Amino acid sequence: MAERDFTRTSFAEHLAEGRLMGVRCRACGALSVVPRVVCASCRASDPEWVELSGRGTLEGFTVVHVPPTPLAAAGFGRDNPYASAVVRLAEGPWITAQLVGVDPKRPESIRVGLEVRAEVIGEGEAARLAFRPEG
Ligand SMILES: [Zn+2]
């Protein structure tokens, strides 16, 4: 099976299939969740897709009242904020995505350091990544 292009479109297609995929440099092993052809570490251009576990740790978050278009379309806004998480994946890279399963109107209830797991919200082109606290 041919590998998909190393683009955000391919990343989104993988998500729509329920898989969180990163890009690993075959030359030096550096892993990125931002699809790229040229390795940011060694400048080689020999990438491969690898499936990530989706497990990670909540390193920080912000509550967003003015969402980007896809989240505004999903009903978020000034009166219905959502939490945007910075997650360190078990494999090392950082990624930012919506944090679900928490109360964004009570940010004091959200603890940095929580173990979280990736899930896919929506289907097809509307599929997007989110994280949910485990347990
Ligand atoms: Zn490299």
Domain ranges of the chain: 8-51, 55-133
97 alpha carbon – ligand 1 mean position (Å): 25
Which regions of 5-125 does DSSP assign to beta strands (E)? 21-25, 31-32, 47-51, 55-64, 82-89, 94-99, 115-121
Class of domain 55-133: mainly beta
What is the predicted pLDDT for the residue at 47? 96
What's the sign of the alpha-carbon dihedral 11, 62, 55, 125? negative
Q: What is the full per-residue pLDDT of the chain (135 aa) written as tens digits? A: 567 999 999 999 999 999 999 999 999 999 999 899 999 999 999 999 999 999 999 999 999 999 999 899 889 999 999 999 999 999 999 999 999 999 999 999 999 999 999 999 988 888 899 999 997
128 alpha carbon – ligand 1 mean position (Å): 27
24 alpha carbon – ligand 1 mean position (Å): 8
Full strand arrangement of the beta sheet holding 21-25: 31-32, 21-25, 47-51
92 alpha carbon – ligand 1 mean position (Å): 15
Farthest-apart Cα atoms in the chain, separation:
48
List CB contacts of 24: < 8 A, sequence separation 6 or more. Answer: 30, 31, 32, 47, 48, 49, 50
The residue count of the chain comes to 135
Single pTM value for the model: 0.90
21 alpha carbon – ligand 1 mean position (Å): 17
- pLDDT of 102-126, one tens digit each? 999 999 999 999 999 999 998 888 8
